[in-house]
Structure formats: structure tokens, C-alpha cells
Amino acid sequence: MAIRKDGIESSEKLLKAAMEVFAEKGYRKATVAQICHKAGSNVAAVNYHYGSKDGLYIAVWKNAFEEAMKVYPPDGSLPSDAPAEQKLRALIFSNLHRILDDGRLGCSGQILLREMAEPTEVVRQIFHDVIAPLRERTHKIIRELLGPKASEQDIRFCVLSVVNQCLAMGFRKSRKKLSPFFRADDIKKDVIDQLAEHVTAFSLAGIAAIKKESESKKLQLNRY
């Protein structure tokens, strides 16, 4: 039993150290030696618990994503029958806080941000698997907001518009090129909240305009 406990502790120390090193240096520049030194462990332990540097990074990335989703759930803890406008707001708040809030997410936020800015092949499939449900959720909310007369292209374009407003902030933060309104190293929660409110209002207004235009086109076609 003691051996098993030691093994778990060794695995957890490696995971914690790896999160800090990958967050600071990124996947490509981080080395197993650096991680082992910080964890007080050795390469054999990495191979035993995670198989390789790739296996360790996969475990770290999954842990970071799960932590971010737990702290900032995309549904905002809303009931399933909440209005679509509230669901979109919750989704945008979740996206922006997962991207920008280092305060609560710490290393997890930095790891997700680094993977966005410098994608690796290591977590490509996992990234696709975990992002797909979020994409589908966004698609469903936009479809509800646009109504039954909206085309698939209208829905896809609106999804891209909403998502990219959030991602753009992450890409700029990763390059430390945020506007003077933001400090790349210290974006406060209230500022993120204000930004999320703005993106929500901006997005809802745009979606409403697309919906109106779509319904107008359908009405004109029905006259012929």
C-alpha cells in the first residue's frame, strides 16, 4: 500500500511541476529534465507514470482544460430552459474568463493560452474532442437566436463572429499586445466582466440584425 501511495505522490508531483514548466516555457521549450528537477524526480518516473514528454503534456493539458471548465462552466449553471440570450451571455463569460483570468486559473489558463497561440500536434485530437461539444453548444444557441428561417451559413458566420471576438483577446494576450486599456499581465475580473458584457451586447445586436435581414429575404421570396 505504501508503494502505491508513493507512486501516486510521485505522479502528482510530476504533474504539478509539469504544469508550471509548460505554462512558463510552452511545450516546445520545456524539457523533461527541467520538469524532473522541479519535481525532485527523474526521467524514469516520467516514463513510468506518463510514458513520455508527450504523454505528460497530454495529462497536463487535460487537467488544465478540466480545471478551467470546472471554474468557468460554459452553461454558467443556468437551467436547461433558460432563454438563449442568457445562455449566450454565460458562454461568452466562460470563454473570456478561461482565456484571460490568470488569477483563478493560474497555470491552467496559461497552458490553454499557449496551446491556442502555438498549437501542437500532441493534443490535436484531444483538443478537437473537447472543443467539439462547445462548438455544438454555441451552434445550438445561435440557431435558437436566429430562428427557423436562418440559413446554415448565417448560423456558421454568427458562430465564428462570437467565438473569434473571444479568441482574439487570447491571441493578443499571448503576444502581450493588448491595448493600453488592458495590462497583459494583470487583467482584473471586473474588466473581464465588462468586456464580456460588451461582447454579449455586441453579438446579440448583430445576431438580431442578421435575423431581421433573413426574415426579410424570406418574406420577399414568399411574395413571388
Tens of pLDDT, residues 41-56: 999 999 999 999 999 9
CATH fourth-level superfamily of 59-222: Tetracycline Repressor, domain 2 (1.10.357.10)
pTM: 0.82
Please give the pLDDT value at position 2: 44
Please give the pLDDT value at position 223: 57
| pLDDT reading at 198 higher than 70 | yes
Residue 83 half-sphere exposure, CB side, CA atoms within 13 Å?
Answer: 4
Please give the pLDDT value at position 110: 85
Nearest alpha-carbon partner for 102 in 92, 114, 90: 114
SS3 147: coil
Please give the pLDDT value at position 19: 94
**94-152 tens-digit pLDDT:** 999 998 887 888 888 889 888 887 889 999 888 888 888 999 999 999 999 999 888 99
Q: Which CATH number is associated with domain 1-51?
A: 1.10.10.60
Do the domains spanning 1-51 and 59-222 agree at the CATH topology level?
A: no
Q: CB–CB of 167/99 below 8 Å?
A: yes
| pLDDT reading at 171 higher than 80 | no
Mean pLDDT across the chain: 87
Alpha carbon distance 146, 210 (integer Å): 7
The stretch 67-75 carries a mean pLDDT of 94
Per cent of the chain over pLDDT 70 is 87
| pLDDT reading at 88 higher than 50 | yes
Domain boundaries, the chain: 1-51, 59-222
Please give the pLDDT value at position 175: 65
Residue 173 phi, psi dihedral angles, 5° rounding: -65, -40
| pLDDT reading at 3 higher than 50 | no
The size of the chain, in residues, is 224
Centre a 10 Å sphere on the Cβ of residue 15 and count the other Cβ atoms it contains: 17
The stretch 153-163 carries a mean pLDDT of 95
Please give the pLDDT value at position 113: 82
